[in-house]
Amino acid sequence: MKPKAPNLLLESGLPIVYAVSGMSLNPPENPEFDVAVRTAVRSLTVMQKEAIVARSDSDRVWRLASDEGPYLQGHDFAPAPLAFLSTGLAVDLLTNIERSLVSMGLSIDSVRLVLDSRYTMEGSLVKGTMIGGAEPPEISVFVANDDSSKATGAALSGVMASATAGLVGSRLTSMFSLTSHGRQIDVGRVAPLEEAPPGLHERPGQFPPPASPAPEWPIVTKTWDVGTDTADAGSSLKAEQRRGLHLRAEARRGGDGMAVVEVTIHEPQGSTFRFLSDEPAGLGGDGRAPDALTYISAGIGFCFMTQIGRYAKILQRSLGDYHISQDTRFSYGNPSAEPPRGGRADAPRTHVFVAPDDESFASHALDMSEQTCFIHAMCRTELRPRVKTLTARD
């Protein structure tokens, strides 16, 4: 089964991920959180999307592109939305665990982290009963240390301090506003958001130019291609489903200090992509690649955009020219504080812009997209990460 839409990402000749110049999204800061991230995502061909992401504490702005695999009849040219999220979560966890190990006087040489993420999809899209779900993430930490007890304590403290813990360990009710043909209308059953600020209704420009100079290496690379002839081809476009999803992200620190993450979609069958990640300049890194919170925020926006596009595609309805502007906020914790303080995340706030032929379809599309989005399901579900530490003795 071959994709029918053109491969605009390939035709653009641009890298999957790159820094852009001359752009500012002005993420709205909030004194209750350390970092605010604004993400603008537009649809290219339903399954192909483009995002622009900016942090409140960095001048660097990133462009990221996402595609889907054969399970959604995508071109598989760029990583799927959940691969971006898994990368961000894995890097966030790795970084905070390393900091915790250092604070306890332990070596961080050869630290490796494996993150297994699982999701569910069940019900009928036509009947409106389809719903996405998320299961507790499984975190395996490998450290070159003989003191199993001390290493385990450091790993647990690092997980507690991460923004990931705040995102998956709390019940966060995502909020939305809905604008149709330039006019804000009522949302359906989702939690309503205040009116979209002026300017957000404008569609993000197409393919912003890369900043100069370009990096000497690709930030995202496909390392294994699943191909199009798989048993799962087109499976995620069925109107009725009862299935699970499984992604594995393996993260380590490269010799140049950047995090290297390999993400594979095991269920349904998908390709493997390698991601590079670096913290912003002045915040522990050199800004050579997107940081963990940028990947996380892009993943949330991409996943929602896939679901709203998939819903319209299955029902053979039009959303017109659609895009979103999303705000996320995060704070890192401090397990050594009195009392200990864990990482925190705020509920995603998303302004949705559509131009359907039938305006009554807009609120239904928004409702079903939130209901079936795996990442918004993760946000609204309080999950307890399962952490396992393996040392040199194991």
Tokens representing 226? 């699943």
Confidence (pLDDT) at 212 = 82
Task: Name the residue among 344, 346, 309 with its Cα closest to residue 327.
Answer: 346
Per the omega criterion (within 30 degrees of 0), is the bond before 268 cis?
yes
Backbone angles phi, psi at 187, to 5 degrees: -80, 170
The pLDDT assigned to 232 comes to 81
Beta strand pairing call for 191-192 and 175-180? parallel
Q: Mind listing the pLDDT tens digit for each residue in 118-166?
A: 999 999 999 999 999 999 999 999 998 778 899 999 999 999 999 999 9
| Percent over 90 (pLDDT), the chain | 78
Average pLDDT (211-235) is 88
| Predicted local distance difference test score (pLDDT) of residue 3 | 66
**Where does the pLDDT of residue 201 fall: very low under 50, low under 70, confident under 90, or very high at 90 and above?**
low
Q: Please tell me the distance from the alpha carbon of residue 140 to that of residue 390, in angstroms, as a whole number.
A: 7
Domains (range + CATH), the chain: 8-390 (3.30.300.20)
Global pTM reads: 0.96
More confident of the two residues 214 and 255: 255
What pLDDT does 29 receive? 86
In this prediction, residue 339 has a pLDDT band, given cuts at 50, 70 and 90, of confident
Per-residue pLDDT at 340 exceeds 80: no
Structure tokens at 99: 């900091």
- Token pair recorded at residue 2: 């071959």
Three-state DSSP state, 166: helix
Distance from C-alpha of 377 to C-alpha of 363, rounded to nearest angstrom: 18
pLDDT at 52 over 60: yes
- Provide the CA 37 distance to its chain's centre, in angstroms: 12
What does 63-94 look like in DSSP terms, one character per residue?
A: EEEE---GGGT----S--HHHHHHHHHHHHHH
State the DSSP string of 317-344.
Answer: ----S-EEEEEEEEE--BTTSSS-B--E
Mean of per-residue pLDDT scores for the chain: 92
